[in-house]
Amino acid sequence: MMQLQDILYSQGFGTRRVCAGLVQQGWVDVLPKNADSPLTQCRDSTLQFDTDGLQLCVQGEWWPFAEKAYLMLHKPAGTECSQKPSTYPSIYTLLPPPLRQRPTKSAVQGVQAIGRLDQDTTGLILLSDDGQFIHRMSSPKKHVPKLYEVRMKHNVSAEQVERLLAGVVLDDDPVPVRAAACVQVDPTLVHLTLTEGKYHQVKRMIAAVGNRVEGLHRSEIGGLQLPADLAPGRWRWLDENDLSLLKPVS
């Protein structure tokens, strides 16, 4: 059981004083699990609720209570995966304020992108405020596969595919970097699966075999695919089935 103001605070709706004010002004409705109807204009911020299955309606927007936030975002082109972008808008501006303001034990607040995509790269981005989940999904030791749809400038040769699978040397690392899988879809398109995430890795690997990336889209992480109905710039919560697909290989 938690006080309503503490529940709102934990979900990123502001300081406890701000959250208490939202309640006192009648901006918060609460729908406990298995309730027949919502509690409207809940005015007492010290009321206690079981957070299991709790639904909140804050200023007309419904929010599920989430002890930890797990999200997917369809990153559009022309955005940066940084909270302090240098040139292009940040992907964080695509998220509602509560997700950017969720309190954490660390100095940085809100959900964090797990890995980054270049500003011109589109596709699946995961975000969370769960530090253990972020580490598990981003650690190179876990070998979480990521599928990229790579459009090349020139036709792809069988030799280039073989080299990507065998391993290429990048300029900053003498250890060859290998693709876990590489499937040619048409003359200039390959589906490339990687299990690590070096800086500009896909573009550098393609350059190392004598071609050039013209378009790059990440469509899958682990066993989780970017839904066809999730438009660029949109996000949604991950459900239990989604999370089960993200279990690391090792």
Q: What is the pLDDT along the chain (250 residues), one digit of tens a residue?
A: 899 999 999 999 999 999 999 999 999 999 888 777 666 668 899 999 999 999 999 999 999 999 999 999 999 999 999 989 889 999 999 999 999 999 987 655 799 999 999 999 999 999 999 999 999 998 878 889 999 999 999 999 999 999 999 999 988 778 899 999 999 999 999 999 999 888 889 999 999 999 999 999 999 999 999 999 999 999 999 999 999 999 755 4
Structure tokens belonging to residue 161: 């595919």
* Secondary structure (H, E, C), 28-57: EEEECCCCCCCECCCCCCCCEECCCCCEEE
Q: Rounded to an integer, what distance in angstroms lies between the CA atom of residue 173 and that of residue 90?
A: 30
Residue 185: phi and psi, rounded to 5, are: -95, -40
pLDDT of residue 250: 47
Q: Rounded to an integer, what distance in angstroms lies between the CA atom of residue 161 and that of residue 3?
A: 58
Question: Distance between the two ends of the chain, CA-based, in angstroms?
Answer: 36
Total residues found in the chain within this entry:
250
* CA separation, residue 134 to residues 61, 71, 79, 109 (Å): 27, 12, 21, 14
- Note whether 101 and 143 are within 8 A (CB): no
Which of 11, 14, 10 has the alpha carbon at shortest distance from 25?
14
- Note whether 190 and 183 are within 8 A (CB): yes
Q: Other CB atoms closer than 10 Å to residue 59's CB: what's the count?
A: 10
CATH fit for domain 2-64, picks 3.40.640.10, 3.40.50.10490, 3.10.290.10, 3.90.1150.10: 3.10.290.10
Q: Rounded to an integer, what distance in angstroms lies between the CA atom of residue 114 and that of residue 128?
A: 7
CATH 3.30.70.580 positions along the chain are 70-141+224-244
* CA separation, residue 250 to residues 114, 139, 141, 223 (Å): 18, 11, 8, 14
Residue type, 207: A
**140, burial (CB in 10 Å: exposed 0-12, middle 13-18, buried 19+):** exposed
- Note whether 248 and 136 are within 8 A (CB): yes
CATH 3.30.70.1560 positions along the chain are 145-221
Q: Considering the domain 145-221, what is its CATH architecture? A: 2-Layer Sandwich (3.30)
- Note whether 146 and 220 are within 8 A (CB): yes
pLDDT of residue 41: 67
Helix ranges (H only) for the chain are 4-10, 16-24, 97-101, 131-138, 158-166, 201-208, 240-244
Written out in words, the top-level CATH class of the domain with range 70-141+224-244 is alpha beta
- Note whether 56 and 96 are within 8 A (CB): no
Q: Rounded to an integer, what distance in angstroms lies between the CA atom of residue 132 and that of residue 156?
A: 39
What 3-state DSSP class applies to 141? helix
Instruction: Give catalytic residue positions.
Output: 118
